Structure formats: structure tokens, C-alpha cells
Copies of this chain bind each other. A is one copy, B any other.
Amino acid sequence: MNPLEQTRAHFIQGMSRISHFWGFPKAMGAIYGAIYLSPTPLSLDELVQQAGVTKGAVSANVRQLERLGMVHRHIEVGQRRDYYIAETDFWRIVRGILQERQQSEFDRALASVGESLALLENVRGDEAEFARQRMAAMQSFFSALDGLVQALLKLESLVSLRALSRLVERAGKE
């Protein structure tokens, strides 16, 4: 294995770890890593070889990566084979992930708290009142969080993360 291949392997392993850390399958990270490092579009078979997982796993994970907007499937007409290329705009990727996770389960959290609150609608007593207050506070936090994510999602580009950091820093000093 030449130095370049070694590096690639190391990088892919790292991506696999990161992927797992963020709550995604390890294979997903490995596959993205392989595609990301390749100057040319990769086929499924090449991915099997480079990421070290089976066809089935590549097929499934590449689809998920596509849904998140992390890779793009490049189909040529009159060509059976698919090729994959990496999305390199990380802000797009972040958006893709936020959207995906958002729509699915995030609102459900809000809904769940809302339901609980509704259940207390006409229950009297100190304990009920206390619970109501707490739940309302949590609801408010969740909806504010949601608002922040929505605001972020509206950003075209990541303005530059660093600029955003400075913004936050300044906000903190006020």
C-alpha cells in the first residue's frame, strides 16, 4: 500500500469515527470520506473496495448520503453505472442534515410537550400548576431553538462560520 493509499485509509477511518460520533452509521462516514478524496467520480464497486464494506451497505448508505445532500449521483444517459461525487460545500451539508433531522423528530419533541400541556388543561392544584409552568418553559425553549435552526437554514451560505463566531462573541459582551 503506497503512502497515498495509506493516507486515504487513515482519513476514511477517521470519517467513519466522526460519522459514528454524530450518530450516523460508520459506513456512511467511510463512504463519504472515500468519495470526498477522489478527484474523479466513484462507482459503487470502487466504493466497495475503498470503503471496505459490501455492495448492500454502499447502496443503502449512499442513498442516505444523497438524501442529506452530502453526495450527488451522477448518471450518464445510456450508462448503467452510477457515479458519485461529493458535496464540498459544508454549509449545504449542515443544512441538509439539520433539515433531515429537523423535520423528522424535532417538531415531534415540541408536539409531545404540547400534548402534555394540553392534558393538564383543566387540572387544578399546586402540583399541576407547577408542572404546567415547567412544561411551558421547556416548550418555549424548544420553540426558540427551532427558531434559531430555522434562521440558520435560511442563510444562503455560511457567511463564514468565523464571522458568525465573532457575531456571537460580540453579542455576549453586550
| Chain A contact residues, CB within 8 Å of chain B | 3-4, 6-8, 10-11, 13-14, 17-18, 21, 23, 36-37, 39, 88, 90, 105, 108-109, 112-113, 115-116, 119-120, 123, 125-128, 130-131, 134-135, 137-138, 141, 144-145, 147-148, 150-152, 154-156, 159-169, 171-172, 174
Contacts and interface: CB of A to CB of B under 8 A. Distances in A.
A172 to B, nearest CB: 4
A130 B39 contact: yes
A120 B37 CA distance: 13
A7 to B, nearest CB: 4
A11 B131 CA distance: 10
Tell me the dominant secondary structure on chain A's binding face.
helix
Contacts of A145: 161
Contacts of A166: 151
B123 A90 contact: no
Contacts of A11: 112-113, 116, 131, 135
Contacts of A37: 130-131, 134-135
B119 A7 contact: yes
A139 to B, nearest CB: 11
Contacts of A147: 161-162, 165
B126 A155 contact: no
A151 B172 contact: yes
B137 A165 contact: no
Contacts of A123: 3-4, 7
A31 B156 CA distance: 40
A151 B127 contact: no
B167 A171 contact: yes
